[in-house]
Amino acid sequence: MHEMSLAEGILDIALDYAKKNNAKKINRVGLVVGKMSGVEPESLTFSFDMIKKGTLADEAELVLRRTPLRGRCTKCGKEFDIDNYDFWCPECKDGVLKIISGREMQVEYLEVD
């Protein structure tokens, strides 16, 4: 189960951060999840809620921000949201879009007490 190991990684980061900041509890964990990261938000939240019990993150809420798939043209340098897996540049019609975001999955911020 892919999401379970991701949730464990997120919890590790959050607990580590809380420890370093002498926090009593973790209130919120903000995540950036790319549209193309392959992460299932519901199942990630479910996994996180399951493993957070009894830790400083017991009451922590997972807040997900989805980022679209974006590419930059290798020829004219323009940036676009990629729709329908169309990787050809809509501007110059000659370049190929290189993916610059949309595959990431990372902790963006943490709110602790």
How near is the Cβ of 51 to Zn ion at its closest, in Å?
44
Task: Give one DSSP letter per residue of 23-60, joined into a string.
Answer: -S-EEEEEEEEETTS---HHHHHHHHHHHSTTSTTTT-
Q: Are 71 and 97 in contact (CB under 8 A)?
A: yes
| Binding flag, residue 89, Zn ion (CB under 5 A) | yes
How far apart, in whole angstroms, are the C-alpha atoms of residue 73 and residue 105?
23
- Whose Cβ is closer to Zn ion: residue 56's or residue 89's? 89
| Binding flag, residue 92, Zn ion (CB under 5 A) | yes
Enter the tokens of residue 113: 């007490």
| Binding flag, residue 96, Zn ion (CB under 5 A) | no
Helices (H), ranges, 1-113: 2-20, 41-51
Q: For residue 3, give the amino acid letter.
A: E
- For Zn ion, the binding residue among 95, 101, 102, 110 (CB under 5 A) is 95
| Binding flag, residue 73, Zn ion (CB under 5 A) | yes
- For Zn ion, the binding residue among 49, 91, 104, 111 (CB under 5 A) is 91
- Whose Cβ is closer to Zn ion: residue 14's or residue 97's? 97
Residues at the interface with Zn ion (CB under 5 A)? 73, 75-76, 89, 91-92, 95
